[in-house]
Chain A
């Protein structure tokens, strides 16, 4: 079968459309589908042939995940560039994993964190992604593909993106330690989380997690209320204050969980926490409304506070003496098992589009990173690149992805360059083995 064979068929649907309308066109398309699918699948599709553009028009891909990772503007741009429809649907973390597992057929692309990829593979709702079909795979940062960066081993407390990346066979249900050609997901966006604070009210530079539980800030502090990661933020605080040394913050023992929660309850009873937050907006509101002056926070939330002309700093919590460090997270795209044929081809096209730079540049403009910075760079101005990735004083004013002015020229990004921040990640978002027990204890903290 040759490409010419397929191209000749495109003429037919085009004519049918103008003559008789959608129904007939579709039935003719069906006939050609097998041939087309094969043709499209074989060539790794560079600049889509007309034939492809005709075939994929009716395809709709549903990309489902949390709002900070699955962004409507990105889906709209993808639809425009790819010629088929991409619909973005947002759910919170727990609703998302529940949907992937209980209604896998209502999702095409699942947006997965490392631990969710592990669960999804275990439950057999996703299919292995062939690394060979991901065009930029060789340009991915080795953080993801090899678990290192510039010779620095990326810590594996919690579930690191590297750890959750590989499976041995396309239908394997267990993660594979070591490089294979089958992926559970294609990493797409990640960052290093730490603390946000009001420099004018805190009074000194914050570089250690223990400031979050410092009695000085009693009634003015808040912590993240998503048990699985809130406890890691708490653990970073406890470790920083020298109260305990964890074997693995990302997979605590029951004793470690008990210690951490009991300390949290003690803090709560003393009135330390003004609130806890679950969504991005809540954290922005808490800070902007003056309810808290220090809290665990996400980078774009800090930016959102600053846009309101309220001073807010993202604490650079570089690793020192085996303590501190950022809590890293990474979301990647998984292909649901039910995808096949044309739709699967379209999904691969989508993944490749995602890695081709537009999305990478977009997320970089609010402080997240692309796993393929080399393509993102092409879509960023030199000013943006210097500020967001190189950690240099911005040579010009910085705008957010929607064009709203964010920072004046000369501002330096908190935490410094990309390499500085990423190599100081000390643990990753996870689901612990003792998750059920931890959850129960977290509720003890909530109700105390």
Chain B
């Protein structure tokens, strides 16, 4: 009987394994293997195990600088998309009385996402440029004389593009967490004399925590793993972890690129573990 149950549970997980093993485990192992090889400089990999790629990676100040830069974008993007995402979700759940309207507005939030990421990012360029809409308007209004250069090809423009692209990933999980909060709980709190701030602090935020955590996981893993937005919106003036090892691939230096990829995987995994330590997402989800 025991074996029969085992077979059944294996059958349950088979579809997942069929996806995960060929499309995740095998490629990761291939990258891991490549990271211990050395390059012949012509795109070939010599199968003599070496730690040189990791030593080179971990002793280089470049690695540190790249992570500082990428983590900076991650934290800024996370912070602003959290602020915006939280309040949008809060408004939709608690201030729009008609649930149909709330769902409608929620769908409206997704409208910009019907266009491609790249289009949405590039559209910022004519807006933020030296001769762009914002600068032209400010100059014509007599508020500034010289165009504001920090608007484009700067940390500012990178974060604007990321926040614009990724806030939806905050809105969705926070919205769904908030929607599950029992409204009677809030009424009861207000009846017992709690201020709106108390309600926020003791009810809304704690009960939205899993949504915030899920949204944070999306944002952290996407920004840490992206390079295109940084490349375009910083005008090539900044770099990212992935951008740097993409350059390695461009000159067929696969092993060092693989080592960088492994390191990035480890670091992103650690960041996600950290997020999960603060909230037990699994328990919250099955609630």
Contacts and interface: CB of A to CB of B under 8 A. Distances in A.
Contact of B237 (A98, A276, A442): A276
A435 B249 CA distance: 11
Nearest to B239: A446
Nearest to A436: B253
B239 A447 contact: yes
Contacts of A448: 65
Interface residues of B, number: 37
A289 B126 contact: yes
> Which interface class (under 10, 10 to 19, 20 to 34, 35 or more) fits A?
35 or more
A228 interface: yes
Contacts of A101: 43, 252
A97 B237 contact: no
Interface in B234-271: 235-239, 243-244, 246-253, 256
Contacts of A443: 62, 66, 239, 243-244, 247
B92 interface: no
Interface stretch (A234-242, A267-275, A317-325): A267-275
> Chain A binding site: helix, strand, loop or mixed by DSSP?
helix
A117 interface: no
B131 A442 contact: no
Nearest to A125: B43
Nearest to B42: A122
Interface string A374-411: 00000000000000000000000000000000000000
Nearest to A271: B149
Contacts of B250: 93-94, 97-98, 227-228, 439
A123 B249 contact: no
A436 B69 contact: no
A227 B249 CA distance: 12
A276 B236 contact: yes
Contacts of B149: 219, 274
A225 B246 CA distance: 13
A290 B130 contact: yes
B169 interface: no
A130 interface: no
A139 interface: no
B153 A119 contact: no
Interface in B87-109: none
B125 interface: yes
A204 B125 CA distance: 29
Interface string B62-81: 10011001000000000000
A225 B42 contact: no
B43 A447 contact: no
Question: Residue among B41, B247, B253 with the most chain A CB within 10 A?
Answer: B247
B251 A447 contact: no
B152 A291 contact: yes
B235 A447 contact: no
A285 B238 CA distance: 19
25 contacts: A97-B250, A97-B252, A101-B252, A119-B42, A119-B252, A123-B44, A219-B149, A273-B237, A276-B235, A278-B231, A282-B232, A290-B129, A290-B130, A433-B41, A436-B253, A439-B247, A439-B248, A439-B253, A443-B239, A443-B243, A443-B244, A444-B62, A446-B238, A447-B62, A447-B238
By Cβ-Cβ distance, the 4 closest A-B pairs, closest first, are: A94-B250, A275-B235, A276-B236, A446-B239
Given A276-B236, A290-B129, A440-B62, 14 more contacts: A98-B249, A101-B43, A227-B247, A227-B251, A228-B250, A286-B235, A289-B130, A291-B235, A435-B253, A436-B248, A442-B247, A443-B244, A446-B236, A446-B238
